[in-house]
Amino acid sequence: MSSIINVVLPIFGLILAGYVCRRSRCLGETASAELNRFVAWLALPALLFKVTATATWAQIWQPGFVASVGAGCALVFGATVVHRLRRARGLADASIDGLSAAYSNTGFLGIPLCVLVLGDDGLLPAIVATLIVACLLFAVGIVLVEISLQTEKHPLRAAAKVSRALLRNPLLVAPLLGAGWATGGLPLPAPANQFLSLLGMAATPCALVSLGAFLAHEQSGRSDGTAGLVFAKLLLQPLITAFFAFRVFELPALWAHSALLLSALPTGTGPFMLTNFYGRDGALVSRVILLTTLGSLVTISACLYLLAQ
């Protein structure tokens, strides 16, 4: 429990710092939007590029683990999108809702948590899960949002517009470029590695401070479905992932335990960044991030208890 608190409390501290600074007017009215633009255009792309550029195929290719974590993400994301579309949500908002239910905070909570609980060996599963969530799942969400926002009726012209929009999206282009660099087998030059590290380290605090500043504004957006998204993230996704990890693929203990812990994490800031990037209503996503982060103190503790048995 102390390990979880040590990881989660700084997250709340950064959100609180953004909230207090905005309420006290240390940050201006546009602080949340501008911080989010910095994260979306510079800090997070740098982090995604570095992670993919320095990963090796041998590290990433863990079929059973990838399938278990991927199944939990894909099934929860797909079911949420379909359900929200039936509730008269547009595809763009339904896709962001799907990310809210399936986008685990693997990079900023998962990596330190796995290392604290499982030792240094827990780092590799956390990195692989981060690639699945921050690159693959995030990319699918971006593609669906771009498709939804297109007004072109002709299929070929619409496809061309979506492709151009995707090629201009730094959150999608950065990991693709990083994967291309990794394919060449060359290490990153030291200055470039340091540059990307400095930018990448700014992604987490800036995104969380931005969220806190956003919460300081009066929340008047839609909140219907908050409980369902929190339930899907904290309970449904871990159950699906555990079924595949322990029953279907019967993974070794390290990988099975990592899959369960990483799927039980709260929602990351990725969906919130997309709401700002595309100008969507962020009230629902911000509530889900806060509630899942608070609820994860209970669910992760329960997972640790079950694994100890």
For the chain, the structural domain boundaries read 2-217+227-308
Q: What is the CA angle 157-162-166, rounded to 5?
A: 150
pLDDT of residue 54: 84
**Position 63 confidence tier, pLDDT thresholds 50, 70, 90:** very high
The pLDDT mean for the chain works out to 84
How sure is the predictor about 159, in pLDDT bands with cuts at 50, 70 and 90? low
pLDDT at 219: 60
Residues 6+ positions from 247 with CB-CB distance below 8 Å: none
**Given 1.20.1530.20, 1.10.3720.10, 3.20.20.70, 2.60.40.2140, which CATH number is that of 2-217+227-308?**
1.20.1530.20
pLDDT for position 122: 82
Q: Output the pTM of the full model.
A: 0.77
End-to-end CA distance of the chain: 16
**For the chain, what is the total number of helices (H) and then of strands (E)?**
18, 0
pLDDT tens for 239-286 read 999 999 999 999 999 999 999 999 999 898 888 878 878 888 778 888
Cα–Cα dist 35/18, whole Å: 10
Q: Residue 161: its pLDDT value, please?
A: 66
Question: pLDDT tens, 65-86?
Answer: 999 999 999 999 999 999 999 8
Contact 98, 77 (CB under 8 A): yes
**266 with 108: CB under 8 angstroms?**
no
